[in-house]
Structure 1
């Protein structure tokens, strides 16, 4: 309870730093996008939810990275909640902050340099299929 109150009083600059830190690695971005596409409260299976569908990934290596690096960080920031048995994740209490930034990036992809939106276009195509 005290932790939530402290997080609520965090300066906006700290919250921005945390959102950008969360988005700074592909498995975290992919997991967050998967959660955005899932209904609120639904758990998504890991490691599948953190893999770009157009890429192949070494599942055991990704599982280790998720377990020891990505998921603890996202959970500490309040963006996801996760469990090991079953290995899955769902939206955390602060998920809306990171989802809002991703939605704004998607909505304004036309204004971004082509080098930054190639992956976005691929994700949009997959969302539409």
Structure 2
């Protein structure tokens, strides 16, 4: 059956992580960094630079721990940076697919993957 995989838990995890705009923004920022050839870390405070203190706290206490728990990122708290995690290869193809087909999506889904709507936390 199409759309069904025996490793549905991994699929569910990836889609659940991408269900929140803040986590999508973090993952797309990291995806763009990885694909720029830099392979370096990103400063996660840059992702929320226009955010409120509350948004920074939610990112720090909710979204980054979830991404780290899934293995998609490695989080370096002292340096305020993140890098690709040990399970990055599970989420990267989905990020690539979304990024490369934005123009084909319905209008309500065409927003920039990293989100700039200010309502992401």
**TM-score, structure 1 length as denominator?**
0.72
Q: Which of the residues 21, 27, 41 maps onto 1:26?
A: 21
RMSD: 2.1
Deviations 1:68-114 (A, max 9, x none): 11011111110001022121111101112212102112222233211
Query: What are the Cα deviations for residues 1-50 of structure 1, in whole angstroms up to 9, with x where unaligned?
Result: xxxxxxxxxx52100111011111112111111111113641111221x3
Residues 1:57 and 2:51 are matched in the alignment: yes
**Aligned pair partner of 1:107 in 66, 84, 100:** 100
From the two aligned structures, give the one with the greater helix fraction: 1
Q: Does structure 1 retain, via aligned residues, the 8 Å contact 2:72–2:86?
A: yes
| Structure 1 ranges of 4+ moved more than 3 A | none
Report if aligned partners of 1:46, 1:89 keep a CA contact under 8 Å in 2.
Answer: yes
Runs of 5+ in structure 2 lacking a partner? 1-5, 117-121
User: Partners in 2 of 1:111 and 1:65 — Cα distance?
Assistant: 32
Asked if structure 2 preserves the Cα contact closer than 8 Å seen for 1:36 and 1:99, the reply is yes
Q: How does 1:40-119 map to 2 (within 5 A)?
A: 41-48=39-46, 50-51=47-48, 56-58=50-52, 60-119=53-112
Higher relative contact order (CA 8 A, sep 6+): 2
